[in-house]
Structure 1
């Protein structure tokens, strides 16, 4: 299983053009994965995924705020 985690997904990397796109994708994916973890009572994974989601969303909020200035 560790070897599979080490591989990069070229399709994902090709569709993510910059940090903002990466943060948006991470926010979307972590939300889905968090719901999956909740459904299976994987509390620590749910917590970590929600934290990653908050970080991604905060990045997007800060970037949008900087663009308005």
Structure 2
């Protein structure tokens, strides 16, 4: 059986044009996955997904702030 991490989704890769778009997608997906992990009491996964979400949101926040200058 192939590992899920080894698979590539060409649809996602084709629609994500730059780092900001990737960060926005990661923020959205990790927020949803963290909720799922929390609902099923997967505490470590919830924590890690929330950290990834914060990192993606921080990237977006800093980029938007940088654009204002």
Same fold (TM over 0.5): yes
Q: Which residue of the partner structure matches residue 18 of structure 1? A: 18
Q: Which residue of the partner structure matches residue 28 of structure 2? A: 28
Q: For structure 2, which runs of at least 5 residues remain unmatched after alignment?
A: none
Q: Please give the TM-score of this superposition, normalised by the length of structure 2.
A: 0.95
Q: For structure 1, which runs of at least 5 residues remain unmatched after alignment?
A: none
RMSD (Å) for aligned C-alpha atoms: 1.1
Q: Which residue of the partner structure matches residue 62 of structure 1? A: 62
Q: Please give the TM-score of this superposition, normalised by the length of structure 1.
A: 0.95
4+ residue runs of structure 1 moved beyond 3 angstroms? none
Aligned length, in residue pairs: 69
Per-residue CA distance 1:4-51 (angstroms, 9 max, x = gap): 321111011011000000000000000000000000000000000000
